[in-house]
Amino acid sequence: MIRIGLTGVSGSGKSFVTKIFEKYGVISINSDAIVHELYRSKNPCTEAIARLFGESVLTSDHSVNRKELASIVFASREKLLLLNQTVHPFVIDKIKKVVQEKEEQGAQAFLIEAPQLFESGLEAFCDYVVSVMADHQIRVERLIMRDGITKELAEKRISNQYEDSFFRERSDFCIENNGGDDLEKQVCVILTKMGLSI
C-alpha cells in the first residue's frame, strides 16, 4: 500500500485537494479530525493540555475549549510548538492503527491529511509527501471566510507557520491551489507518477 502524506499551510485548500484524491479511490484520514475527536472528552490528551495551559482551556464537561486554546497558542510560536509536541503522539498512534487496518483490508493507497506532517515526524511514515500551496492573499481570504476571524488573526496564524520554501524543499510533489480549474489534473498527474491507476 502506498502511503501519501498531504500537508501545507492554513488556507492552502488541503481538504479540497483530499476530496479529489478520494474521488480516485484513495482512502484518507484527517489528522485535524482526530484532534477534534480527542478534544471532545476527558482523556490523557486533554488532561495533559490542561496541565500545560491551565484549566481555563477546558469546558465544564472536560472537553477542550478550542477558541480559548487557539487564542493562547496562536499568539506564540513556543506555545504552539508545546501544544503540538503534546498532542502529536496521540494522533500518530490513531493514524498508524487506521493505516494498518486499511492495509490488512487490501487498500491500494492511503492519504494522511496533516498540517503538522513534518512537525510530528509523520513524513517518515509516508512513501510520498504532497504539499498544497496557495498565494498568501488567497490563504488570508480563505481563513477569514472559513474560520470567521479577522484579517489580523489570519495573518498571525500564517506568520507562525513555515514559509512556502520549507514545503517545496521537503515534498515529492507540490499542488498549486489558487482557484484555477486545473486542480484535478494536477492530482491525476501525481497519481500516475505514483503508479496508481486512475
pLDDT tens column, 111-120: 999 998 998 9
Residue 20, SS3 per DSSP: helix
Distance between CA atoms of residues 140 and 83, nearest Å: 23
* Segment 64-73 mean pLDDT: 90
Q: Which amino acid, one-letter code, is at 65?
A: N
29-63: b (≥16 Cβ within 10 Å) or e: bbbeebbeebbeeeeebbeebbeebeeebbeeeeb
* Segment 169-174 mean pLDDT: 97
Residue 21 has pLDDT above 80, yes or no: yes
What does the pLDDT look like over 143-159, one tens digit per residue?
A: 999 989 999 989 988 88
Task: For residue 21, count CB atoms less than 10 angstroms from its CB and return exposed for 0-12, middle for 13-18, buried for 19 or more.
Answer: buried
Distance between CA atoms of residues 122 and 3, nearest Å: 11
- Pick the closest to residue 123 from 169, 176, 79 (CA basis): 169
pTM of the model: 0.87
Q: Which amino acid, one-letter code, is at 137?
A: Q
**Which grid cell is 176?**
498549486
Average model confidence (pLDDT) across the chain: 93
Ordered by where they begin, the domains of the chain are 2-193 (3.40.50.300)
